[in-house]
Structure 1
Amino acid sequence: MGHSNVSNFVLAVTVPLPSLLFYLSFVQKCDGDRWENEYWTWVCDWGRLHPLYLVNVLFFLNVDILFWVVGLVQQNVWLIDPYWTIIPVLIAHFYSAYPAAQYDLLRSRAALLLIWIWSARLTYNYFRRELWQWGKREDWRFTDIRRKDPRNWWWKSFFVCFVSQHTFLVGITLPFYSIFTNARPWNAWDGLAFLVCLSGITIAHVADTQLHSFVARNNILKDLGAPTEPLLNRGLWHYSRHPNYFGEQLFWWGLSLFSVNLGQSWAVVGTAINSACLAYTTVLVERKMVQEPSRADVYRQYQKSTSVLIPWFNRSTLVKSKTS
Structure 2
Amino acid sequence: MNAGAFGLNLAVTAAVTLAVLLAAFAVGLRTGRHRGVDVAWGLAFTAVALTGYALSAGYGDPGRRLLATVLVAVWGLRLSAHLWWRARGEPEDPRYARMLARAPEGAARTRYALRTVYLLQAALVWFVSLPVQAAQYLPGPPGPVAWTGTALWAVGLSFETVGDRQLARFKADPANRGRIMDRGLWRWTRHPNYFGDACVWWGLFLLAADAAVGWAFVPSPLLMTYLLAFGSGKPMLERHLSARRPGWAEYAARTSGFLPLPPRRHPTPPTAPPARHHP
Q: TM-score range by the shorter chain?
A: 0.7 to 0.9
**Residues 1:267 and 2:224 are matched in the alignment:** no
**1:86 Cα deviation after fit:** 1.4
Equivalence for 1:18 = none
**Residues 1:214 and 2:170 are matched in the alignment:** yes
Aligned counterparts of 2:9 and 2:123: Cα–Cα separation in 1: 16
Contact 1:290/1:299 (8 A) holds in 2 = yes
Change in CA separation of 1:178 and 1:316 when aligned onto 2, cut-off 3 Å: same
Aligned AA (1:106)? G
Can you list the C-alpha shifts for 1:41-73, whole angstroms capped at 9, x where unaligned? Answer: xxxxx988522122213433x245454344334
Q: Which has the higher mean CA deviation after the structures are superposed, 228-237 or 205-214?
A: 228-237
Equivalence for 1:185 = 141
Change in CA separation of 1:79 and 1:128 when aligned onto 2, cut-off 3 Å: closer
Partner SS, residue 151 of structure 2: helix
Aligned counterparts of 2:141 and 2:68: Cα–Cα separation in 1: 14
**1:75 Cα deviation after fit:** 2.8
Length-normalised TM-score, structure 1: 0.72
Contact 1:172/1:268 (8 A) holds in 2 = no
Q: Which has the higher mean CA deviation after the structures are superposed, 304-313 or 69-78?
A: 69-78
Q: Which has the larger radius of gyration?
A: 1
Equivalence for 2:98 = 144
Change in CA separation of 1:99 and 1:119 when aligned onto 2, cut-off 3 Å: closer
Equivalence for 2:277 = none
Change in CA separation of 1:66 and 1:121 when aligned onto 2, cut-off 3 Å: closer
Equivalence for 1:42 = none
Change in CA separation of 1:138 and 1:184 when aligned onto 2, cut-off 3 Å: farther
Can you list the C-alpha shifts for 1:222-281, whole angstroms capped at 9, x where unaligned? Answer: xxxxx7352111111111011111011100111011122222212232222222222222
**Residues 1:286 and 2:238 are matched in the alignment:** yes
Equivalence for 1:50 = 8
Change in CA separation of 1:51 and 1:59 when aligned onto 2, cut-off 3 Å: same
Of all paired residues, the percent bearing the same amino acid is: 22
Length-normalised TM-score, structure 2: 0.83
**When the two structures are aligned, how many residues end up with a matched partner?**
260
Change in CA separation of 1:274 and 1:302 when aligned onto 2, cut-off 3 Å: same
* Aligned residues: CA RMSD: 2.5
Aligned counterparts of 2:128 and 2:5: Cα–Cα separation in 1: 21
Change in CA separation of 1:128 and 1:70 when aligned onto 2, cut-off 3 Å: closer
Q: Give 1:158-169 correspondences, 5 Å limit.
A: 158-169=114-125
Can you list the C-alpha shifts for 1:58-105, whole angstroms capped at 9, x where unaligned? Answer: 433x24545434433443324422221211111111111116652222
Change in CA separation of 1:246 and 1:304 when aligned onto 2, cut-off 3 Å: same
Equivalence for 1:253 = 202
Structure 1's consecutive aligned runs of 4 or more residues displaced over 6 angstroms after TM superposition are none
Unaligned runs of 5+ in 1: 1-45, 222-226, 320-324
Change in CA separation of 1:111 and 1:317 when aligned onto 2, cut-off 3 Å: farther
Aligned AA (1:57)? A
Equivalence for 1:20 = none
Contact 1:240/1:309 (8 A) holds in 2 = yes
